[in-house]
Structure 1
Amino acid sequence: MLPLMRDRARPIWTSVLLLALYIAAGGYSTQMMGGPGEVVLFWPAAGIGLAAVVRYGLRWAPLVPLGVLGVHLLFDPVPMLFLAYSMAANLLGVLAGAALILRGPAPEPMSVRFGLRGVAGGGVMSAVSALVGTTGMVHAGMLPPGDWPWAAGRWLLADLLGVTSIAPAVLLASLPASRRGRLPSGDYAPEGERLAWNVALAASFLLMGWGASLGGYYALGLVALPLAVLVWSAIRFTPLHTAMGIAVTMLLVSAVAGFGLAGFPPPQAPVDGLNLLGFLIVVSVLPMTLSVAMYQQRSASHRLQQRADTDALTGLASRDAFERRVKAALADVSAPPMALAYLDLDHLKLINDTASHAAGDELIRGVAGLLEAHRHPDDLLARTGGDEFALLLRNCAPMVAEDRVRVLLRAIEGYRQGWGRQMLATTASAGVVAFLPGQAEYAQLLSQADAACFTAKEQGGNRVCMARPDAGDLLDRTAAMRWVVRLRESLEHKALALHCQSIVPLQPGLESGRHFEVLLRIRDPHSGEELMPGRFMPAAERFHLGTRIDREVLAMTLDWLDAHPGQAESVSTCCINLSGDALADEGFLAFVAERLRRSRFPGGKLCFEVTETSAVRDLARAQRFIGQLRSLGCRFALDDFGAGFCSFNYLRSLDVDYFKIDGSFVRDMDSSPMAEAVVRSINEIAHVLDKRSIAEHTESERQRRALAAMGVDYAQGHALDRPAPIADYFARPFPEPAR
C-alpha cells in the first residue's frame, strides 16, 4: 500500500496547516450541535483526515487523533472515556478507508474509478468510525442505548458527507500540478467565464436564502440552484475548481441548515437529519463525478490529438500537424521571408529489400534524429511520409534556405547506421521553395517543393533543387502530377473511353475484315470533355501508370467484343497500344494470358503495338516479351518506326508482324523528298524481312495514292477513316480494301 506520491521531505508547515484545518473544521461542526449527547450534522474533518493519509501515506494517520484531541479540548469538552473512543473511532476509520483506497497499485487520482473507490473508502471509514464512536457515546453515558441506531446512522452520513465534499478539494489542492491533470488552457473556459461563474454561485446562495426566507415545506429544494452552478463548473472548469466550489457550497448549506438560518429549520427528527445528509451527499458526489469524467474525456481527446500530431516512428511532427502550423505561419503577413523544403531519402527501397524493412525504419529514425539535431532552432521539422521529410525554414532568403538544406544533406550523406554486421547509409534529395507569408498557399508551396525534389532525384539525387516561378521543368512536373491525379480518378470512376480507327489495305489480296487500332480517350468526370492521349500519356508513363492503363484498355476491349459476338466475328485484327512499362512487367504477361483464357475472342486476332524506342531500350527483354505473347497467338507491330533513327540491325531480333511508319514522315512526303525516301526505305526493308508496312497519319487522298504506288501495305489516317467510339465504329461499314 503506497501513497499517491512519494515525498522525500514534507515541510513541517504542511503538517501544521492540515492539523489546523482539521481542528478548525471540527470546531465548525461542533457549533451546530444542540447538546453534548447529539451527533454533529456535518463532519468536514473526516474529508481532511482521509485526504491527508491517502495523499501522504499511513505515517500521517496520527494527525487524525491529534486533531480530534484538539477539537475536544478547544471546542467540545467531553468525558475522558468518550475522548478515547472518539480518537480511536476517527483513527480506525481513516486507516480502514485509506487501506481500501490505496490497496494494490497506486491509483490515478484524476479518474472516475479512483473517485468511486474514494466514495467506497469513505463509506468504510464512516461505518467504522460510526460504530466505534457511537458505542463510546453509549458506554460513556452520553447516549441512551435505544437511540444508538439513529446516532450511528447520522455519524456515518456526517462523516461520508465530509469525505465527498471536502476530501476532493484537499487532495487535488495538495497534488503537484503534474499529477492534477493539467491540460492546455484552451481546453477550459476563459477567465471571463470563470468570473461569471463566481457571480452565478454567489447569486444562487442569495436566491436560496431569499427563497427559504419566504417559508414553505420545500425550501431545501432551492439547493438545486447552486447544484446547477456546480454542474456548469464540472462541464467548463477544472476538477480542482469544481471541488472547491462543492466544498464551499456544502459548508454554507450545512451551516444554513444546522444553525437554522434564512428560514431553514434545523432537522429535529432523526429521520429528517438522515434525509438531509443523504441529499447533500448526492449533491456533492454528482458534480465531482461529472467533472472528473469530463476531465478524462478531455485528457483522452488531448492524447489522441498528440498521437495524431506526432509521427509514431520518429517522434517528429506529423504531416497534419505540420500543415496546420505552416498554414498558421502563412497567415502572419508581418513575418519575415520563409522557405519550405521537401526531403526524400534516395534509394531507401534497396535497404528495405536487402536488409529488411525493420532496417529501413531504423535508418529513417536515425535520419530523423540527425535532422532534428542539425536543423535551425526556429525551423519546423516533420515526417510527411515513408522516407519523406518537410521543413519550414523561418527568417531566411532563398540562398540562406538553400545553404541550410545543403547542410542537412551533407549530414545525411555522412551518417552511418549500424544494423547487425552491416553499416546502413543513404543520401537525400531536396526541393526548396522560398516565399513571403501571406502571398502563397500551402498546397501550392508543397507541390512546388515536391516537384523540385523530384527534379533533384532525376538529376542524380543527393542535391538541392530550388523551385522558381520561371522553372519550366518544375512547372511541367507539377502539371504532370495534376494529370496523374486526374488519371487515377478516371480509372477509379471507369471514365476511359475506347475509340477505333480503321487500318485499310492499300494492296489487293490482303486480309479482309475489320483491321483497326483501339484508341484511348478519357472523359473528364467534371466537364465531360474527351481528352486525347497526347495530353495525359506522357504523365502516365512518367509516373508509371502506363501498365495499369494498358490492362484497363485490354480488359475493356475484350469485354466489349465478348458482349457483341456478331461484331467480333467481323474483326480480322484488333491493334492495342502498349506502354514501355508493360515490356518490363512480368505481371502483365500473366494478366494477358488469364484475360484471353476467359475471353471468346481469339488471341490470334490481337496485335499489340510497341514503340520503336521502347523496344530497343532493352532488346533482350522486348524479344522475350514478344515471344511469350506470341505463344498465346498474339501478333505485334513496331509503332512509330523511324522516329528514333535507330540502326536497322536490331530488326532481325524483333519478331514483329508490322512496321508502322512514323506519321511525321508520311505527313511531309509532299514537301520533303527525304521524308518520301525514308517511307520508301522502311517499306522496302519491311518487305525484305517479310513484314507488312503501315503508314500512319495518312491525311489526304494524294498521300494515299502515293503510298499505294510505293507498295505500302496499309494506311491509317483521316483520309481513310476517322476515329469513332467503339459502338459507333462497328455500327458503320468499314472501308473497302483496294482491288
Structure 2
Amino acid sequence: MNPSRRSADLGAPAAGHAGTDLAGDIAGVRQRNLFWAALVLLLSIGAVTWYFVNDSQLRLIEYKALNLAEVVARHATAARSAYADHAVSKLDRDGTGSASANYLAERGNVPLPAQFLKLVGERASTESGGLYRYRPLSKWNLGAGQELRDDFQRWAWARLEAQDRAAPTGPIAWQSAWRIEQVDGERTLRFLRADPASSASCVQCHNAIERLDTTRASRVAAGVAPGKQWSQHQLLGALEVQVPLAPVEALAAEQRRVVILAVIGLTLGGLLCLGLLVKVGTDRSRALTQDLAWRAAHDDLTGLANRPEFQRRLQTALAASKTAGRRHSLMFLDLDQFKVVNDTCGHRAGDELLRQIGTALRSHLRAGDTLARLGGDEFGVLLVDCPLDDGRGVADKLLGCVANHRFLWRERVFELGVSIGLVEVGADACGVADLMSAADIACYAAKEAGRNRVRVFQSSDAELARRREDLGWGERILAALASGRMALAVQTARPLHERLAVRSYQELLLRMYAEDGTPVPTANVIAAGERYQMMPSRIDRWVLQTACEHVRTGRLRADAEHIVAINISGASLADEAFLHHACETVRASGIDPRGLCFEVTETAAIGNFLQASAFIRALKALGCRFALDDFGSGLSSFSYLKNLPVDFLKLDGAFVRDIVSDPVDRAMVGAIHAIGRALGIPTIAEWVETDAIRDAVQALGIDYAQGYGIERPRLVSLPSGLDADVVEGKGRERTSGAAATTVSAGLD
C-alpha cells in the first residue's frame, strides 16, 4: 500500500484520537500533578509531623532526664544526711564507734558520710540497670575517682563556684549545671548539683581535716593551695548524675518510624489526629508534672501554700528588700480554741474548720499576697510591698474576720479567735529563719497576753527580746546532753526514828553545766524543757537511764532498804510513750526495782489524775515505788490522796522552813503527818536546813528529813570533759553569799 494513502485513510480518525489523547494527556498531567502534589503534601505532613514528634520527644527526654537527675541528687544527699544524723551521731552518742576514713581496718567504726555517699552511688549506679549513674566529687577531694577529672566537671564546678559567697548568712539558692555530651559513645545528660556545707558540724570536721599535716602535704603534691577553710553553706562538694539517653532515644526512634509508616498509610486527617494525640500526650505529661509540683508546694487539706513554699516566697521577698529597698509584712496566725473543736467534734470537724478559715482569710488579702498553712492550726501571711503600718491594718481585718466567723457543726456553733504575730520584712532583716522566729515569738506573746490580739515584733521590745533569747534554751539543753555536760547529784533523806524499813532515801537532782564548767540554774533548764516538750522525750529519759546505769555500776546503792528517787515531770506522767520506755528501761537494767522510787509533784498528779494513776500502777506492778512531792501545796490533796497508791509523802518545804517560828506551819505539818500515818504512808520533810528544824519535825513524828541541815547534794559522777576543781569552784562562786534556804529551794 501506498504510504500516502495510508496516511490519508487514517487522517480523520487520527484527529479524533488526537483530541482524546490530548484530553487524556491533560488529565494524566493533572493526575500526575495531583499525585505529586499529594505526595509532596503527604511528605510535608510526614516531615512536619516527624519534626514535631521528634522535637517534643527530645524535649520530653531532656525534661524527664533532668527531673530524674534532680531526684537522684536530692535523694542521695538526703540519704547521706540521714546517715550522718541518725547512724553516725548515734554511734558517737552511744560511744560504740565513730565514722572513720579507715573504717575497713577499724573494728566498730563506719564510713564517713562522704564515703557512705560514694558507696551508695556505686551500688545504685550498678543496680539501676543503666538508668543512671552518680558519684560525689569535689575540687578539694583528692581521693581516687572524686576529683575533677574532665572538662565538664571543671566547667560545671566553675559555674557552681561563681554562685558561692565568701560569708553566706544563710543557704544559697544554687543553680545546678548540666549539658548533654557523648560519654563512652552515648548521648548522656551530665548534671552537677551543689552539695554545700549544710551543718556546722560538717564545716568543723572538714576544716579540721584541712589542717592536718597529711592533708596539707597531699594538697601541695597535687598542686592545690593548702589550708582551705569553709563557712557554713559554702560550696564543699557536688554530686554528678549521669543519665544515658540512648535507651530512651532508641525507643523514641522506633516510635518515630511507626509514626511515619502510619502517616504514609493514613489520611491527612489521621495524621493530624496522630499529631494531636502526641501533643495531648506531651501536654498531659506536663500537666501531671505541674500537678505534682503544685502538690509539693501546697497543703492538701486547705489548698494553701505549705511551709516550704511559704519560706521560698519569703526568701524572694527578703531578697527584693535587700536589693530594691522594698518593705513587706510577715504574719504568724495561731487559732484560739481550735483544740476545743477538734476534741469535742473530732478531726473531721477540725479539718472543715481549717478549710473555712483559710477561705475566709484569703478573701481579705490581695492577689499578690501569700496565705499558707504552716502546720496544725497555724497560718502564715506574707503581704508584699506592704509596710508595717499598713500590715497592722490588714492584721486587724484578719483578726475581725476570724472573730466574726461562726463555725457550725451538727447544730453546734463555735466562736473562734486568733493570735497574730506581725513583723516587718526590710533590708535589715538577717534571714528567713530569723523572720520566722520573730513572727513566732510575737504570735506566742499575743497568745500569752490574752489571745485574740495582734502583737508587733520590735527589736527594742524587752519582753520579745527575752522570749527570743529563750528559744536558744532548747539547743543549749541538746548540746549539753550530747557533750555530757548533764549530771546527777544525790541528796539523801535520813530517817528520824528507828525501825523504819527504808534506811536511806536518795533523791537524784538534775545538774547542767556550761562549757566553762559554770552550773546552769536547774529551774531554767526544767522550765525550758517543759516549754519545748523535751521532758518526756529527752530529759526525763536521760535521767532514768543514767540513774539505772549508776545503780548497775555500783555508784548508787538501790535495794529494798536504800531507795534511789527520780523526779518525773507532769508531761512525762501523761505520756504513754514515756511510760513504755520507763518500764522497758527498768526491766532491761537488771536492777532491783524495789530500790527505785519515782517522785511526782502533787500538782502534776492531781492535774493528770487518771494518767497518773495508770502510770503509778504500771510501774508499781514491776516493784517500783512512788513518792508524792510538794504535798500540801494543793487544797484538794487530801481527797485525792487515798486514791493514789503512793509509798512516801514529801511535805512541801514552804511549810517546813518556818516550822520553828510559825505555829500555823507547824500545825499543817502535823496534820499532813497524821494523815500519812493513818494511811500507812511514811512522811519526808524537805528544806530541813538547821538543827532546830530537824528537832521540830522529829518531835512531830515525821519519819525522814532532807535538806542542807542533813546533807548537801553531791555529784554522783563528774560531767564529761569537765575538771572536778573547775566544777566545784564554779559552784562555790554561784552559791557564795546566798542564804541556805535560797540555795536549797533551787535544788529540786
Q: Does 1:541 align with 2:491?
A: no
Name the CA distance, whole Å, in 2 between partners of 1:434 and 1:633.
54
Q: Does 1:703 align with 2:693?
A: yes
Does the CA contact (< 8 Å) of 1:540 and 1:546 recur in 2?
yes
Cα distance, 1:501 vs. partner?
1.5
Pairs within 5 Å for 1:422-433: 427=416, 429-433=418-422
SS in 2 for 1:633: coil
Cα distance, 1:456 vs. partner?
4.3
Aligned residue number for residue 560 of structure 1: 550
SS in 2 for 1:499: strand
Q: 1:583 aligns with which of 567, 573, 581?
A: 573
Name the CA distance, whole Å, in 2 between partners of 1:539 and 1:113.
52
**Structure 1 residue identity aligned to 2:322:** A
Q: What does the per-residue CA deviation read over 1:46-103, in whole Å, with 9 as the maximum and x for residues that have no partner?
A: xxxxxxxxxxxxxxxxxxxxxxxxxxxxxxxxxxxx9999999976754553354456
User: Percent of aligned positions with the same letter in both sequences?
Assistant: 34
Cα distance, 1:350 vs. partner?
7.2
Aligned residue number for residue 328 of structure 1: 319
In 2 relative to 1, CA 362–709 (structure 1 residues): closer, same or farther, beyond 3 Å?
A: closer
Does the CA contact (< 8 Å) of 1:322 and 1:382 recur in 2?
no
Pairs within 5 Å for 1:127-146: none
In 2 relative to 1, CA 315–441 (structure 1 residues): closer, same or farther, beyond 3 Å?
A: same
Name the CA distance, whole Å, in 1 between partners of 2:385 and 2:589.
64
Name the CA distance, whole Å, in 1 between partners of 2:52 and 2:621.
79
Max Rg structure: 1
In 2 relative to 1, CA 85–645 (structure 1 residues): closer, same or farther, beyond 3 Å?
A: closer
Cα distance, 1:392 vs. partner?
3.5
Pairs within 5 Å for 1:242-641: 310-311=297-298, 313=300, 314=303, 316=305, 318-328=309-319, 330-331=321-322, 335=326, 339-346=329-336, 364=354, 367-376=357-366, 379-393=369-383, 400-412=390-402, 427=416, 429-435=418-424, 437-442=426-431, 443-457=433-447, 462-467=452-457, 474=464, 477-490=467-480, 496-511=486-501, 513-524=503-514, 529-548=518-537, 549-564=539-554, 567-568=557-558, 572-619=562-609, 621-641=611-631
**Structure 1 residue identity aligned to 2:655:** F
Cα distance, 1:500 vs. partner?
1.6
Name the CA distance, whole Å, in 2 between partners of 1:395 and 1:381.
15
Aligned residue number for residue 107 of structure 1: 56
Does the CA contact (< 8 Å) of 2:564 and 2:597 recur in 1?
yes
Cα distance, 1:383 vs. partner?
3.9
**Structure 2 residue identity aligned to 1:626:** I
Q: What does the per-residue CA deviation read over 1:86-123, in whole Å, with 9 as the maximum and x for residues that have no partner?
A: 9999767545533544569x936756679xxxxxxxxx
Aligned residue number for residue 47 of structure 2: 97
Does the CA contact (< 8 Å) of 1:575 and 1:607 recur in 2?
yes
Cα distance, 1:492 vs. partner?
6.1
**Structure 2 residue identity aligned to 1:657:** D
Aligned residue number for residue 716 of structure 1: 706
Structure 1 unmatched ranges of 5 or more: 1-81, 115-188, 190-234, 236-298, 730-739
Total equivalences in the alignment: 465
In 2 relative to 1, CA 562–676 (structure 1 residues): closer, same or farther, beyond 3 Å?
A: same
Name the CA distance, whole Å, in 1 between partners of 2:607 and 2:374.
35
Does the CA contact (< 8 Å) of 2:511 and 2:519 recur in 1?
yes
Q: What does the per-residue CA deviation read over 1:157-178, in whole Å, with 9 as the maximum and x for residues that have no partner?
A: xxxxxxxxxxxxxxxxxxxxxx
Q: What does the per-residue CA deviation read over 1:13-51, in whole Å, with 9 as the maximum and x for residues that have no partner?
A: xxxxxxxxxxxxxxxxxxxxxxxxxxxxxxxxxxxxxxx
**Structure 2 residue identity aligned to 1:327:** L
Name the CA distance, whole Å, in 2 between partners of 1:577 and 1:346.
33
Most deviating of 356-365 and 549-558: 356-365
**Structure 1 residue identity aligned to 2:698:** A
| Bigger fraction of residues in strand | 2
Name the CA distance, whole Å, in 2 between partners of 1:112 and 1:691.
78
Name the CA distance, whole Å, in 1 between partners of 2:703 and 2:465.
43
Cα distance, 1:694 vs. partner?
1.6
SS in 1 for 2:689: coil
SS in 2 for 1:374: coil
Aligned residue number for residue 231 of structure 1: none
Aligned residue number for residue 136 of structure 1: none
Structure-1-length-normalised TM-score: 0.52
Name the CA distance, whole Å, in 1 between partners of 2:499 and 2:700.
16
SS in 2 for 1:341: strand
Name the CA distance, whole Å, in 1 between partners of 2:509 and 2:554.
19
Does the CA contact (< 8 Å) of 1:496 and 1:521 recur in 2?
yes
